[in-house]
Amino acid sequence: MGETERIKALIQTYHKQIQDWRRYFHQYPELSFEEQGTTKRIAAELDKMGIPYEIAPEKNTGLVAVIEGDHPGKAVALRADIDALPVQEANEVEFKSRVDGRMHACGHDGHISILLGAAKILWDLKDVIYGTIYLVFQPAEETGKGSGYMIRFGNWYDKIGSIFGGHIWIDVLAGQVSVEAGERMAAADEFTIKVHGRAGHGSQPQQTIDATVIASAIVLNLQSIVSRHFSPLESVVLTIGKMKSGDRFNIISGEAVLEGTTRYFKKEIRLDLRDTMEKVIKDTASAYGGTAELRYDEMVLPTINDPECSAIAQAAVAKIMGKSAVTTMQKTTGGEDFSYYLDQKPGCFAMIGIYNPDIDAVHSHHSNNFTIDESVLPSASGVYAQYAIDWLKQNKNDKNA
């Protein structure tokens, strides 16, 4: 029996276990960098399997496990994120979140179970593994800080030649997976604009510099950056999500604060976008007699799949789930901190379909009604395992991998 047939058999063997893991972790969600309990439970499951691991000591959350194959070779990594969101769950299910105001509303509970399932499968298939597989259970994806935290931990990242991960995705049909090459998710940055005017009585505007008016003009003027500064062939988003100005109906505000986000797919856009925003912001404020400053922070890079790794991933999906399971989807302006792993190493990020209206798996990520089609998780475990085995096998004689 070949390794693909063995993987398929193990998927059936561990199907219920993978579902049970997902339901356990769903009940005990923890926020970014607070996942100590989640990490301990993952460690306990790895202990049962006999797989060695180390917990990241910086915050005692997140861990890296390692599976050494029976044959020498290179190293590859598989990653799952493990944090939840500050969302109050509205679903009435027996495994509903037991933590008030906390929910796995993005599907990271499913990611944990997928990677644990892959761990069990790969541990049973060490005889066909050429090299080393690192299993990376990463905290704090939702803040964009977790991948950097894990890269700093140990030397696993330096050793690997490729990394694979994925996200269960509501815009893809259950039973299908998108792993095409190229741009998949956008860079996501955040910014804060502080506007300074001069406060005064609403009846005497001539004695003031109205920060609310300045802030409003800045909001409007920033929109021209996307529509006129960048090519219409580029995907750029500039959103003001929050504006605070003033304290009372008859006082002209002297201060205003704006907060927002930008999204784009080419790394070189970032500096141009930031510098252009800063010029528009300062010039607009000056035109009204005030001042303003911009704080601009990088959150995540664009997520770009390597063509060779994408080809291996597509083949893995076809082997485990059938050729019809390989699908395509438009790139999304959502952000993902898996991008930092891909900045220095080739790899692939998969979109794993969970959309199924028959079980109400239709709600968007971060919704308090978010739910998934759990039946896809065991097959996803198989895809992760197949990718690792195939990448190592294809690169076992490549000294540059």
Please say if 141 is a catalytic residue.
Answer: yes
Q: Which of 3, 81, 83, 373 is catalytic?
A: 83
Between the CA of residue 353 and those of 113, 299, 305, what are the distances in Å? 15, 25, 18
366 is in an annotated binding site: yes
Instruction: Kindly state the DSSP code that residue 391 receives in the 8-state scheme.
Output: H
Task: Spell out where 149-290 has E strands.
Answer: 162-173, 177-178, 182-185, 187-196, 200-201, 237-245, 251-252, 255-264
Q: Which residues of 263-287 are buried (b: 16+ CB within 10 A; e: fewer)?
A: bbbeeebbeebbebbbebbbebbee
* Radius of gyration for the alpha carbons in the chain, expressed in angstroms and rounded: 24
Q: Which of 141, 336, 373, 390 is catalytic?
A: 141
15 is in an annotated binding site: no
138: helix, strand or coil: strand
Please say if 83 is a catalytic residue.
Answer: yes
229 is in an annotated binding site: no
Q: What residues have CB less than 8 Å from 354, skipping those under 6 apart?
A: 107, 110, 168, 169, 170, 172, 174, 361, 372, 373, 376
Residue whose tokens read 């475990």: 381
Contact between 360 and 210 under an 8 Å Cβ cutoff? The reply is no
261: helix, strand or coil: strand
Contact between 336 and 185 under an 8 Å Cβ cutoff? The reply is yes
142 is in an annotated binding site: yes
89 is in an annotated binding site: no
User: Distance between CA 212 and CA 243 in Å, rounded?
Assistant: 9
Binding-site residues for Mn(2+): 106, 108, 142, 167, 366
Active site residue ranges: 83, 141
